[in-house]
A and B are shown apart, each in its own frame.
Chain A
Amino acid sequence: MVSVLHRRLLRELRGGGMSIVSIVLIAAVGTGCYVAMRSAHRNLSDAKNRYYAQGRMADFWIQLKKVPTDEVSRLRDLPWITEIQSRIRFPVTADLGEDRKPIAGLALSLPDARGPVLNDVVLRMGGYFTPGRRNEVIVNHSFAEAHGLKPGSRFRLLLQGRQEEVVVVGTAMSCEFVYALGPGSIVPDRKGFGIFYLKRSFAEEVFQFEGAANELIGRLSPGGRAAVKNVLQQMERMLDEYGVLQATPLADYPSNNFLAQEIDGLATFGFAIPLIFLVVTALVLNVMMIRRAGQERTVIGTLKALGYSDAVVAGHFLEFSLWIGLLGGLAGCGLGAWMAQSMTSIYQRFYEFPSLVARFHADIHLQAVVVAVICAGLGGWSGTRSVMRLRPAEAMRPRPPRTGRVIFLERFPRLWSRLSAAWRIVLRNLLRHRLRSGAGIAAGMLGAAVMAMIFSMAAAVDHLMAFHFRWVYRSDLTLGLKDERSSDVVRELQRLDGVRAAEPSLVVPCVIRFGARERTTALTGITAGAAMTVPREADGRTAAVPPAGLLMSRALAGILGAKQGDAVAIRPLRGSREWRVARLAGLMDDYVGTTIYADLDYLRGMLGEESAVNRVQLALVPDPQVRRDILLRLKDWPAVQDIIARADIRGNLENTLLRNLWLFLSIEILFAGSLFFGAVLNSAIISMTERRQELATLRVLGYSPWRVGGLLARESLVLTLVGIVLGLPLGYALLNQVVHVYQTEVMRIPLTFPPQVWARTVLWGTVFGMASQVIVQRAVHTMPWLEAIKVRE
């Protein structure tokens, strides 16, 4: 029945030009983000769930000094525990060749014969241990790939002071190392950190752990999972005599924590970002459709006069906006599928899964299209309602002329009289079309908010990098020592060629308690005036380590509810392991983990160990060859357990996280820019269409096309700038939300909103907003103004 109307609709859509393209673009970006983030979310959580189920991921990890394996059976009887296993876990160093620097790694024991274990490995190459050789090793797959290790390859492992040659029998991955972090790092380094699975019998032999283990892993019943902290506390008490160092529930296990944080982030942003874009789509469509209702008055009246019912005419009218939603939704699906593919391939670089693939999720695509169409429908609703209500007789009459009113600025004659005629036209027009101007400003505001948030995130990462690698940790090499050593080791290291300075420190795991709240963390003792570990405030000011008492991370103090001057209970998990009281003498900031510093001598006094050291930081002469020589020499130092090279960690960060981050942020900025571009373009085109006659009259009066275009450009500029100014506080609020989402005990994003973020937002918002003028000015230049002047009102 309405096929002719359909034909008309399609022609209108085809002839709608940039005004329609701009709205379709915004809707497409919104739905694209929805499809991409929801798909990536589904891909990642599905991969995680499958992998955790396949590998039987543990619910908790308890690290101890040493526990007899017989003890494990006693724990098996505890309620809530469905399974518990023991294993041996030690940091190690890999030596892949005489001329190659030592590489940090982790050794884990696996049963000699394949059996059901928790956190089981998925073999990728080769096979499981054979009964023949004692020194067989299964290497984590990405490390093996990065170094060309294959079954049959041999290399040396420095196992707690013992050098052992091992032979690779297989490569594997494990669900507990999806995001495998080496010491001191926040992103996985496939080349710089390896996981080495040893036969249990071999591990017992080399670490002298016959019949013993230093880690328990287990699974809990659903009730146990709900009360995991209590269960762990109970177990810690039971295992106290074996020197519990740390009890970690799955939620806090670093690999899982990073992964879960990413998945949560995708869920949050998969909702918030598309919402912003679709709100703008609805806003811009609202303005466009109201204008269309006015412009099409006579057509509406004619159709009604012909006998079309209100509902059919309104439906025909609304269909226009629904088509825009549909087109945006479909384009968004394409964009989203491509983005989901790219995001998944980025995730493949960071997360190690046996299978992480970008699947096509038809339901997500369908949801996206439906949401886009609904938003477009809401956007078109107001205009449609006026079409519905318009009585045919009224529609056939010309519209009453607009009421000319004095705008409020004109009440300030001093200011108003100083404005040029052009500015007066611009301001009057903007203030008389409040709905249209409001929509333009709102779109700019949301665009600026997203943009400011993105620039802030980039600034936050820059700040984090500078804070972590330039301000706080300043050594070239950090050496972890096997057990505590005397200070002599520092002097020996200082004598090495190329070492400019060496500083001792002592890192002791501890439990800290304030009131009812308790956390297990590390307490780092540093010398007074240490130059290679310098605790700081967020703004870079040095936070002095007090001669007595503790200097605590603000994040940790917040978790404990403690403030400066409070007395906290602390229990070092070394030595006598007794509870002591220490004063919280100062607070400082950190973003990775939760740190507590104390004066080295104060900590030694607390432990009753006079000159203990278990970490040495080295400053080297700035010569790559010297650095390399020192690294090679350190391989032969039995006291050295692990080596962290700041340049390597920084380099890895720059090559992985930062490169991807900038790519990701650039795309996001482009998207935020589309809000400015689309909304400003639409507003300008509507303004131009409505004022064709007025603009043509100006041409008749002698205005050049540039001068006429200048009026529209000024309008766009005002809308853009007002939008940006209002969007900056909104951006800060949004950033606050983001920072909150990514706020965990493992890592935090600094909340920074420096002036350069404002400046970049103003600059890029204006660039994108004013880019629409290329199209507008072209339209002004090609406008048939002589015809326009004759148009019947």
Chain B
Amino acid sequence: MGAVTVDALREVSMEIMEGELMVVLGPSGSGKSTLLNLIGGLDTPTGGRVLYRQLDLSRGNQRQLTAYRRSEVGFVFQFFNLIADLTARENVLAAAELVEHPLDPDEVLDWVGLAERAGHFPSQLSGGEQQRVAIARALVKDPPLILCDEPTGALDDVTGKEVLRILCDLKQRRGKTVVLITHNTAISAIADRIVRLKSGRIAESVRQAAPARPEDVEW
């Protein structure tokens, strides 16, 4: 068999506004993660352009993309991706050390409600706690953009809602732009804008005038 080229994303054109919470919805294989990777500077597209303010991410070299990720983006992953050998505080510190003016790691941990658990290793924390550490880690660099890949995917609904509350707070209280990808349609209720992906294309882009509160979301 010869090699078959599959486009993960095709003819996708979209804008993300500063300070909005965008939810990207779609089933597995719809191209959500690829979109997030492109926005986050983890990957570059084979065609087309990805612009962040004045920076063309699609033409950036590794050094530029690293610098972009370092100062502009905070990532939150489905499986938390905490470094097992570092305590909660050290995981946050690992990100804080990368920027010149980070937030205070202890304050950030306190903000996500983990001040008491700062000295614990990931294996000693619950799933929700681990995800809160991951959020603190994303936040500590004080980046304008927070990208979340299925942040509640590995959590039960109560813990999941708590994580969503923090993400909404990031937008409302700290003015962050939050992009959240999920296959869970219920979560889209909290979004300012919902983008639906299907087979690598945008099937729908809807703006919500009055997003729901995380505690009112049910799944």
Contact = CB atoms under 8 A, between A and B. Distances in A.
A1 B83 contact: no
A5 B40 contact: no
Contacts of B77: 302, 396
B94 A5 contact: yes
A298 B69 CA distance: 16
B83 A305 contact: no
A310 B70 CA distance: 12
Interface stretch (B9-17, B59-67, B182-190): B59-67
A303 B91 CA distance: 10
A307 B42 contact: no
A307 B83 contact: no
Contacts of B93: 4
Classify the interface of chain A: helix, strand, loop or mixed. Answer: helix
Interface stretch (A7-15, A69-77, A680-688): A7-15
A310 B67 CA distance: 11
Given A1-B97, A4-B94, A8-B86, A301 B63 contact: no
Contacts of A307: 66-67, 69-71, 73, 95, 98-99, 141
Given A305-B69, A307-B70, A307-B71, A393 B83 contact: no
A4 B42 contact: no
Contacts of B79: 298, 792
B85 A306 contact: no
Interface string B166-194: 00000000000000000000000000000
A306 B43 contact: no
Nearest to B134: A302
A299 interface: yes
B108 to A, nearest CB: 14
A391 interface: yes
Given A7-B86, A310-B62, A298 B71 contact: no
B66 A8 contact: no
Interface in B66-105: 66-67, 69-71, 73, 75, 77, 79, 81, 83-86, 90, 93-95, 97-99
B98 A306 contact: yes
Nearest to B80: A302
A298 B63 CA distance: 20
A392 B34 CA distance: 12
Interface residues of B, number: 32
A309 B65 CA distance: 9
A304 interface: yes
Nearest to A10: B85
Contacts of A302: 75, 77, 81, 83
A304 B66 contact: yes
B83 A299 contact: yes
A308 B66 contact: yes
A420 interface: no
Given A307-B67, A391-B43, A393-B43, A8 B137 contact: no
Contact of A1 (B62, B66, B98, B137): B98
Contacts of B42: 301, 304-305, 391-393, 396
A396 B147 CA distance: 14
Contacts of A625: none
Given A302-B83, A792-B79, A309 B63 contact: yes
Nearest to B83: A299
A3 interface: yes
24 contacts: A1-B97, A4-B86, A4-B90, A4-B97, A7-B86, A298-B79, A299-B84, A302-B81, A304-B69, A305-B81, A307-B66, A307-B98, A307-B99, A307-B141, A308-B98, A309-B66, A310-B62, A392-B42, A393-B42, A396-B33, A396-B37, A396-B42, A396-B77, A792-B79
Given A307-B69, A397-B33, 13 more contacts: A7-B86, A8-B85, A306-B95, A307-B99, A308-B66, A308-B70, A309-B63, A391-B42, A392-B43, A396-B42, A396-B77, A396-B149, A792-B79
Interface of A: 1-5, 7-8, 11-12, 15, 298-299, 301-310, 391-393, 396-397, 792
